[in-house]
Each structure stands twice: as structure tokens, then as C-alpha cells.
């Protein structure tokens, strides 16, 4: 636990609201940073249930245990972020009625051929129990172990 991740209080509150709103489905989104000055939460739609309904063989999990972001929506958010000179501070998603760990599925979603698409970006996992926030953890890619390791949220 050498790494740290700076998340502003207003963003923590907003992520928690999103996780509660989405319950019992997983929520997902990003935190966009403006240097030290400001951070904002950008919510993504979890399209997992739509994919699961359309193609259950390819998408065996429902939105209560998985999330998928529409790639076009994510690309729009990323290009707007770059145009504004902002940076990606963190990804987040929730685990309804599951603990805040970084699952094998989470690792698979964030890596291509074993390498992460965003190696420097923190991954926040919010746990809920019966619709209420029960935990939060943050993970970062460790290039030495090729795993996501836990880091401290400040």
C-alpha cells in the first residue's frame, strides 16, 4: 500500500449517491480532475442488462454483478475531457451486496492482453449492503506484479 489516490469529499459523496441510485445494479463512472482545483464525477450508464438480454451467451452476467460502459459514450467523455485540458483521476464502480475487492472480472475489463488500458488511473470499488454504502477501496496497477494492488484514498 505505497500508492495513494486523492479524491475530494464532494466526489466521494457523489459516487456514493450514484451507487445508491443504481442499487441493486452496479453503477460505473469516472472522476475528472482539473489539476488540484476541482474534481467532478461523470456518471456512465451501465448497459450490462441490455447486452445480457440481447446476447446472454456473450454477456452471461446481469447488471447486479457486472457493468459495461458504452464505448461511444466513454470516448465522448474522454475527448471532451481532453479538449478541456482535464485529466482522468479515477474510474469507479459499485458492488451491490458484494465486498469492495477488485475481482478477476474487474481485472479482465481493465486489461487487454494482460496490460491495462489506463495503467496510471486509480480504480475505486464501492461496496453496498442492502442498499447502503458498506465499504470503499481503491486499486492501482502494479507493473511489477502485473496485478491491481490496493492503494489508500486521501
- In the bound state with Zn ion, the residue whose beta carbon lies nearer, of 14 and 106, is 106
Q: Please report how close the Cβ of residue 94 comes to Zn ion at its closest, in angstroms.
A: 8
- In the bound state with Zn ion, the residue whose beta carbon lies nearer, of 64 and 103, is 103
Q: Residue with CB nearest Zn ion? A: 106
- In the bound state with Zn ion, the residue whose beta carbon lies nearer, of 81 and 139, is 139
- In the bound state with Zn ion, the residue whose beta carbon lies nearer, of 87 and 135, is 135
- In the bound state with Zn ion, the residue whose beta carbon lies nearer, of 103 and 134, is 103
Given the rule CB under 5 A, which residues bind Zn ion? 103, 106
Q: Please report how close the Cβ of residue 82 comes to Zn ion at its closest, in angstroms.
A: 26
How far, in Å, CA of 139 to CA of 122, rounded?
A: 6
Strands (DSSP E) found in the chain: 4-5, 28-34, 38-44, 87-96, 111-112, 115-116, 122-129, 132-142, 147-153
Please list the residues that pair with 122 across neighbouring strands. 90
> Residue 123 in contact with residue 91, Cβ under 8 Å?
yes
Q: Please report how close the Cβ of residue 73 comes to Zn ion at its closest, in angstroms.
A: 19
Q: Please report how close the Cβ of residue 27 comes to Zn ion at its closest, in angstroms.
A: 11
38-44: strand order across its sheet: 4-5, 147-153, 132-142, 122-129, 87-96, 28-34, 38-44
Instruction: Please work out, in degrees rounded to the nearest 5, the angle formed at the alpha carbon of residue 81 by the alpha carbons of 76 and 85.
Output: 150
Q: Please report how close the Cβ of residue 124 comes to Zn ion at its closest, in angstroms.
A: 10
Amino acid at each position: 500500500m505505497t500508492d495513494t489516490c486523492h479524491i475530494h469529499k464532494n466526489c466521494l459523496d457523489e459516487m456514493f449517491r450514484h451507487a445508491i441510485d443504481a442499487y441493486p445494479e452496479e453503477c460505473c463512472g469516472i472522476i475528472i480532475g482539473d489539476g488540484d482545483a476541482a474534481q467532478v464525477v461523470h456518471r456512465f450508464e451501465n448497459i450490462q442488462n441490455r447486452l445480457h438480454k440481447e446476447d446472454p451467451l456473450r454477456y452471461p452476467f446481469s447488471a447486479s454483478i457486472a457493468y459495461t460502459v458504452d464505448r461511444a459514450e466513454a470516448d465522448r467523455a474522454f475527448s471532451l475531457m481532453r479538449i478541456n485540458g482535464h485529466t482522468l483521476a479515477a474510474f469507479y464502480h459499485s458492488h451491490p451486496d458484494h465486498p469492495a475487492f477488485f475481482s478477476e472480472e474487474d481485472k479482465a475489463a481493465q486489461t487487454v492482453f494482460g496490460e491495462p488500458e489506463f495503467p496510471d488511473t486509480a480504480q475505486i470499488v464501492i461496496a453496498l449492503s442492502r442498499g447502503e454504502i458498506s465499504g470503499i477501496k481503491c486499486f492501482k496497477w502494479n507493473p511489477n506484479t502485473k496485478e491491481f494492488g490496493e492503494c489508500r484514498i486521501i
